[in-house]
Chain A
């Protein structure tokens, strides 16, 4: 059997600190195919960004301890030398970040920065790289690219900056693009434009896309598959439709329910998840979500507090990490959120 295009297996990223080891990512596995989009959902500190930076090898030469396997085209990126990894960075795998203002260097022009990404992987003249940069800026919808190419980042609007970042990321036609909260810092209307652009480009170049976000609305718009992360681990994994229509893990359900949409009943109070995300320094020994879970009382004894549930496949391609025996959460009666004792 051939391996998927990207296959992350049992990825672990730990950061030793004076206070102890921060288990940012603990045994994460997923796959992505070309032209497909995997959405990774999680809150701040869930390890969603950390695990994706590991694909680019951005934790190399830091104190982080990374283990597991990251197969890209049948090559384990974690076994590559720094030099080999560097040659793939920006060429095979590219990344765009949340805040395009801080992600662009304030002292260099947009054109310099976009062209630099091209020149580092292609032996071309400055002029050729600049022409290629203009072409890419044009492709991502920046008006008058011949003129704007010489602007500095602070002369661009937020949406234009993110377009420039996308141009920079896609200039080498990478096979895999990781987008880390690419629209969080943008206005709603600009967000829609950027998401549409990313999807257009993905179709055109058949890129595999990992979309990291905390916004289920964004996931619903762009993702084929979804991975929900909580406290450094995958808690649910499946197709977007499976997860959004039949979430089988209380955290996923909680996320979906806590977000109002344009048709929800305004007279009903919102249904938040009680409590706060756990610290990764000292995560609960059992199910990390147990302290906030409204279904916990349905599981026998103190199982959730002491035993970490395994990721189990409940339907073809639909995995979840939960002690509940029932897969259809709508058949169960949760405790009201107010009655969950939160420490």
Chain B
């Protein structure tokens, strides 16, 4: 078996709890991410689902090293980057890029699209200045935007187009791993599918691996052949999608699946089972429609 592109082993991150006494002290830790392990092969996609506060976003930010892990290993391309300094990480930033949820706040409104997409080229001094514009236009074309619009500002674009700009920026450095944190949940329904298709095309064309963090189970199922479920900082289940959706092993997974509104079933009617997971047991309620 070949080594995976990214292997995360026993990754843990604690947030300190401060006391409220006269002299504040760290009195304990909240494990935001608690011994998480998974791996992603080159060009593959792993879905990470869970409720808000489950630690799924924190995990994404640990892998892109926006957060400092408390312990554990992040092995990217054979090297453990968990303890690397920012200086060591700099060349690696090209390989791991991030796509954010909110296309409205993640783009600097004072910079043109060309500057936003071209910034990584300038930072890493990869392409000579003259070549930069050509590369920017190429990227705009790849994500389905008009290459002549490089001189426009983010506010001149719609939400879906802004997310395309965000993706183009992430692609600039030809990354091998994209961490996409809820990339479509802020977008209109009719646009979500456009972005998902775009990311799928890019994955195929450039052999990019994805860590796809989301709460929409249907979209995750569509995008990721392998899905990990996070609950209270831990991965409680990690399985191929068919298995996860047809034969969920963990109570929390079952409660998640039972909560997804099902358009077709709701129209035809029939019994509907809702499972609520309390952390210890599952409470099932059934309704007839």
Q: Is A in direct contact with B (CB under 8 Å) within the complex?
A: yes
B253-286 residues at the A interface, CB under 8 angstroms:
255-264, 266-267, 274, 276-277, 285
State in angstroms the CA–CA spacing of A215 and B51 once bound together.
18
Given the interface contacts A276-B158, A276-B160, does A43 sit within 8 Å of B188 by beta carbon? yes
Knowing A264-B222, A266-B222, A269-B200 are in contact, say whether A43-B263 is a contact too (CB < 8 A): no
Give a binary string over A49-70; 1 marks a CB under 8 Å from any B CB, 0 the rest.
0000000000000000000000
Q: Which of A218, A254, A272 has the most CB of B within 10 A?
A: A272
- Say yes or no for B207: interface residue by CB 8 A criterion: no
Residues of chain A contacted by B197 (CB below 8 angstroms):
269-270, 272
Task: Give residues 69-85 of A contacting B (CB, 8 Å).
Answer: none
Q: Closest chain A residue to B264 by CB distance?
A: A261
The 0/1 profile, CB within 8 Å of A marked 1, for residues 146-188 of chain B is 0000000000001111000000000000000000000000001
Quick one: closest B residue to A342, CB to CB? B144
Binds B, one of A6-14, A19-27, A189-197, A303-311: A189-197
Which size class do B's interface residues fall under?
35 or more
Taking a contact as CB atoms under 8 Å apart, the answer to whether B193 and A270 are in contact is: yes
- In the bound complex, residues from chain B placing their C-beta under 8 Å from that of A277 are 158, 188, 190
Pairwise interchain contact A271-B261, C-beta atoms closer than 8 A: no
Q: Are A192 and B258 in contact (CB under 8 A)?
A: yes
User: Which among A109-117, A147-155, A238-246, A293-301 touches the partner chain?
Assistant: A238-246
A262 adjacent to B190 (CB under 8 Å): no
Cα distance A241–B268 in the bound complex, in angstroms = 8
Chain B residue, CB-CB nearest to A343: B146
Name the A residues within 8 Å of B158 (CB-CB): 276-277
Residues of the A chain whose Cβ atoms lie less than 8 Å from the Cβ of B160: 276
Contact indicator A188/B260 (Cβ below 8 Å): yes
Q: What sequence of 0s and 1s flags, for each residue 181-215 of chain A, a beta carbon within 8 Å of any chain B beta carbon? A: 00000011111110110000000000000000011
Contact between B159 and A193 (Cβ–Cβ < 8 Å)? no
Does A220 have its Cβ within 8 Å of any Cβ on chain B? yes
Q: Which of B26-34, B120-128, B211-219 sits within the interface?
A: B211-219
B274 touches A218 (CB 8 A): no
Query: Given contacts A221-B261, A259-B263, A270-B197, is CB(A254)–CB(B190) below 8 Å?
Result: yes
Known contacts A189-B51, A270-B196, A259 near B276 by CB under 8 Å: no
Which A residues are CB-close (under 8 A) to B256? 188-189
Is A334 close to B, CB under 8 A?
no
Question: Chain A contacts of B190 at CB under 8 A?
Answer: 43, 254-255, 258, 272-273, 277
18 other contacts beyond A240-B266, A262-B218, with CB at 8 A cut-off?
A43-B189, A187-B215, A188-B216, A188-B217, A189-B259, A191-B261, A192-B258, A192-B274, A217-B260, A217-B262, A217-B263, A218-B261, A220-B263, A254-B190, A261-B264, A262-B257, A269-B197, A277-B188
Question: Interface residues, chain A, CB within 8 Å of chain B?
Answer: 43-44, 158, 187-193, 195-196, 214-218, 220-221, 240-241, 244-245, 254-256, 258-264, 266, 269-274, 276-277
Interface residues of B (CB under 8 A from A): 51-52, 158-161, 188-194, 196-197, 200, 215-219, 221-222, 225, 241, 245, 255-264, 266-267, 274, 276-277, 285, 287
Can you list 27 residue pairs at the A/B interface with Cβ under 8 Å?
A: A187-B51, A188-B256, A192-B274, A193-B276, A196-B285, A215-B189, A215-B261, A217-B260, A217-B263, A220-B266, A220-B267, A221-B261, A245-B267, A254-B190, A259-B192, A260-B219, A261-B264, A262-B217, A262-B218, A262-B262, A264-B218, A270-B193, A270-B222, A272-B191, A272-B197, A273-B191, A273-B194
